[in-house]
Amino acid sequence: MLRRVLSIALVVLTALLLQTTVFAEIQLLGAKPELLFLVTIVFALLEGPEGGAVVGFAGGMAQDFLLNQPKGITALTLTLLGYGVGLLRAYIVSPSPATPTLVVGLGTFGGILFERLVAFLLGEVATGLLITVRVALLTGVYGAVLTPLLFPILRRVSGRSRPERVVRW
């Protein structure tokens, strides 16, 4: 159990550090990649709704506190996104290599829109609808492009951190 918690914490902190240092400088028309969305969605696909919600909450709270953002908006978004994608996992009948890429792209798009909607309702964001949709779409594309590179690594971390099954006679 401790190994699992440490591996998830390490993945979340690594994603947050990469997102705020390396990927913060790489922008495409005002959008930058959101690695915590990608990590949450991939863990939700691999672990199910509970694992996705836990990783989403941990990543969202880490981002909110470390980046001095309004507290709870990202945590709420990632928790709901992780849980929703985890529930969607039950309906994926024949997984293909393109499935994680498509799910990460669409999930990131929807998650960014939800996050901006909540921020708007709380009076935090004052950008226009077209700009918000464009940024969400480009962020989703960024996530989809990065998924084939990061999915094998996250799958390996998820698999190695699971407790071994014990079969008793």
- Per-residue pLDDT tens for 40-97? 999 999 888 998 999 999 999 988 888 777 788 899 999 999 999 999 988 887 778 8
pLDDT of res. 165: 66
Whether residue 86 is contained in a domain is answered as yes
Whether residue 166 is contained in a domain is answered as no
pLDDT top residue among 11 and 167: 11
| CATH code (residue 136) | 1.10.1760.20
- Residue 40: name the closest of 92, 84, 93, 98 by CA: 84
Domain that holds residue 132: 2-161
Whether residue 150 is contained in a domain is answered as yes
- CA distances (Å), origin 37, targets 65, 86, 136, 167: 16, 13, 12, 36
CA–CA distance, 165 with 41 (Å, rounded to integer): 25
Whether residue 167 is contained in a domain is answered as no
